[in-house]
Amino acid sequence: MRFLLLLTILLSSCAPVRRGWDAGWSERAAKDRIMLVRETPETLGHRRLVYQSAAHPDLGNFLEGKGLPDFIAETSSDDRQYLILYYLDSRRAFACRTRRSPGTVIDFAGPYPMTERETKLLRELQDNSRRDG
């Protein structure tokens, strides 16, 4: 249930990827955003995954096994950080929760099936990013 609430908040605050890019690489730019993950040209989503993987090795291990997601969403509250990893081809999402301190363990939940609406929205964002850049 918490996952659905978090997902609803994140989807309602979805902003174009370019806006996050222009704001820089900071956590502040990533907060409450759905971000495209692409290595070349590098996106804010990819940069945040690299940063989070360095801070939390469990995430790096997870990504080695599952591969990079197509999108991530990141938010935080008090001393907690939350990530949602979206894999479009399998239409699955994973939720991650950790403390803000580097080196802390990440709790993974999922996979959760993505809805038609989520999948359609993220595919549109992905297609728009290809046209724009």
pLDDT in tens, the chain (133 residues): 444 444 444 444 444 444 443 333 455 666 678 999 999 889 999 999 998 899 899 999 999 999 999 999 999 888 898 999 999 999 999 999 998 887 889 999 999 999 999 999 999 999 988 877 5
Q: Please report the pLDDT score of residue 30 as a whole number.
A: 62
Q: 36, 67, 55: which is closest to 98 by C-alpha?
A: 55
Which residue's entry shows tokens 């989070």? 52
Which residue's entry shows tokens 């399998």? 90
DSSP assignment of 32-77:
TEEEE--TTTT-HHHHHHHHHHHH-HHHHHHHHHH---SEEEEEEE
Range of the domain at 94: 2-132
Given its phi and psi angles, is residue 79 left (phi above 0), alpha (psi -120 to 50 degrees) or beta?
Answer: alpha
47-61 b/e (C-beta count within 10 Å ≥ 16 → b) = bbbeebbebbebbbe
Length of the chain: 133
Q: Please report the pLDDT score of residue 72 as a whole number.
A: 96
Into how many domains does the chain fold?
1
Q: 132, 131, 129: which is closest to 38 by C-alpha?
A: 129
Q: Please report the pLDDT score of residue 119 as a whole number.
A: 95
Angstrom distance (rounded) from CA 104 to CA 101: 6
In this prediction the pTM is: 0.76
